[in-house]
Amino acid sequence: METVVRKCGLLVEAYAKQVVPVDTGTLKNSIMAEFPDRFTAEIAPHTEYAIYVEYGTRYMAARPYMRPAAERVRPVFLEAMDKAAGE
């Protein structure tokens, strides 16, 4: 299961980097997967303005990139965890 968490965390990071809007590349380069323990993956951007791009503001429409990345990998994660639990 530890391997599934790590692989899927890296998949979310990779997909988020593919779909994030790019102006200077700072936001894209700030997206990182971190693994604080064996069964936890934290994938997040590390810029002050990342949340405004994801959710939008009253002046700018949302341009989600983290949520779509997580949703895209969710079925892969669930299937892999089912297989790992059945072994």
- Residue 52: per-residue pLDDT: 97
Give, for all 87 residues of the chain, the pLDDT tens digit: 899 999 999 999 999 999 999 999 999 999 999 999 999 999 999 999 999 999 999 999 999 999 999 999 999 999 999 998 876
pTM of the entire predicted model:
0.91
Position 87 scores a pLDDT of: 63
CB 16 within 8 A of CB 65: yes
